[in-house]
Amino acid sequence: MKARIIVSALSLPLVTVLSLAGCASSPSQTAGTSASSPISVVASTNVYGSIAQSIGGSAVTVTSIMSDPAQDPHSFEASVQNQLELSKANVVIENGGGYDPFVGTMLASAKNTSATVLDAVALSGLKPDASGDLNEHVWYNFPVMKTVADKLVATLSKIDPTKASTFQANATAFEARLTTLEAQEAALKAKFAGVGASITEPVPVYMLDAIGLVDKTPAAFSKAIEDGTDVSPTVLQETLALYSGHTVKLLAYNEQTSGPQTDAVIAAAKSAGIPVVPVTETLPSGKNYISWMTSNLDAIAHALGA
């Protein structure tokens, strides 16, 4: 499945952005020295912002560029303020994989930044499939998030060695909670491996795979929805037939994007009595990463009848 790249457009002309970035102060903390003030972490989304806060605690200040749960991440437009935040960061966390390319674009413009950049997709070690596609929604993959957490500990500890033990302890606690979630996935897999499921976009596919569910959605449907293109009538009918024929046990849909074709699929699932599970790409209000993923797993378990 080919990644649908987020649209990024600076709200002011590039020359203005570069001028403002040039006036921004450089990060005050350097690797190997004790931090005199909290470490500045800028994350492309509040998913990684939440993880950074869990591990860094009071030793970090976290800015999440995409944090509005009502915002469609695919239509996000970066701003001059985002440029300035990135130019001042000590650590930048991006998803990578074509999901948040505005981060690299703005960092390239901010020539004065010395930030350490963590790319989750690059850290994951995941490779594109035979068609060259890679599901970039790696935050639904718990082993990958453990890798990100470990790299974040090393990065923060290099900037402020005096708090290395605190960072490690926080990460150990965070990863223990991920292990609990992995155990829940494994328990569901023991009961439901091979059961059919459907999606509107490949947002939760890593989680569905970990549970052993089989994505029955026509690839042309989810690709069209992710790319923002029209679904052919034939493909739409094939997708709708999943519900009338009770081929799947649930529909997991991205509630941050909508359109007539996704609405038709949701309506068909509900009409057939197929449980509908909403998922998101960024954290809902009032959630941290662990509570959010716990809610997602609980919702899938409930839909499966566990």
Convert the pLDDT of each residue in 221-263 to its tens digit: 999 998 889 999 999 999 999 999 999 999 999 998 889 999 9
Burial class (CB in 10 A: 0-12, 13-18, 19+), 163: buried
pLDDT of residue 239: 98
Is the domain covering 14-180 a CATH 3.40.50.1980 domain?
yes
Rounded Cα gap, residues 297 and 63, in angstroms: 27
Share of the chain above pLDDT 90, in %: 75
pTM given for the model: 0.87
Tokens of 126: 């995941």
pLDDT of residue 80: 86
Rounded Cα gap, residues 285 and 246, in angstroms: 34
Q: Topology of domain 184-304, per CATH?
A: Rossmann fold (3.40.50)
Outline which parts of the chain fall under CATH 3.40.50.1980.
Answer: 14-180, 184-304
Q: What's the rounded mean pLDDT across residues 63-88?
A: 83
